Amino acid sequence: MTSDELKRQLGIDDDDVYRVHSDTGQVQKERLFGWKNTNRQLDQASGAIQERWLFGWKGTGMRIDPDSGVL
């Protein structure tokens, strides 16, 4: 999935570059000196989009199909 596809699926509307970290599923934003974690992650097994809350991760009710990339 390209950065533009990922941004579209997550509802991000800016010119920055994003990726999903392959080991953790954490959505990361490209910065001047590397990648910075955002408050979103993708569950690797189910494709569920999760947001960081006070006590961990909470599902958003959205899911990205791991095979097709469709929300």
Q: Is residue 35 part of a domain?
A: yes
Task: Give me the domain span that covers residue 8.
Answer: 3-63
Structural domains of the chain, count: 1
Compute the distance between CA of residue 56 and CA of residue 31 in angstroms, rounded to an integer. Answer: 24
Q: State the pTM of this model.
A: 0.76
pLDDT in tens, 32-69: 999 999 999 988 888 888 999 989 889 888 887 766 66
Q: Is residue 57 part of a domain?
A: yes
pLDDT in tens, 17-33: 888 898 888 989 999 99
Compute the distance between CA of residue 9 and CA of residue 4 in angstroms, rounded to an integer. Answer: 9
SS3 59: strand
Helix (H) or strand (E) segment spanning residue 48: strand 48-53
